[in-house]
Copies of this chain bind each other. A is one copy, B any other.
Amino acid sequence: MQFPIVLGVSARHAHLCREHMDILFGKDSELHVKKKLGQPGQFASEEQITLVTEKSEMKLRILGPLHPETQIELSLTDARKIGLEPPVRISGDIQGSAGGKIIGPKGEVELEEGIIIAARHVHLYPETAEKYGLKNGDIVDLVMEGERALILHNTLVREGVKHADEAHIDTDEANACHLDSGVMVTVVKK
Contacts and interface: CB of A to CB of B under 8 A. Distances in A.
Interface of A: 75-77, 80, 88, 117, 119-120, 147-154, 171-173, 175-178
Contacts of A88: 147-148, 178
Q: How many copies does the complex hold?
A: 2
Given A172-B176, A173-B176, A176-B176, A151 B151 contact: yes
Nearest to A144: B153
A76 B175 contact: yes
Given A77-B171, A176-B172, A178-B88, A153 B154 contact: no
9 contacts: A75-B175, A76-B175, A77-B172, A88-B178, A147-B154, A149-B153, A150-B176, A151-B151, A151-B153
B150 A153 contact: yes
A145 B120 CA distance: 15
A171 B154 CA distance: 20
Contacts of A147: 88, 119, 154
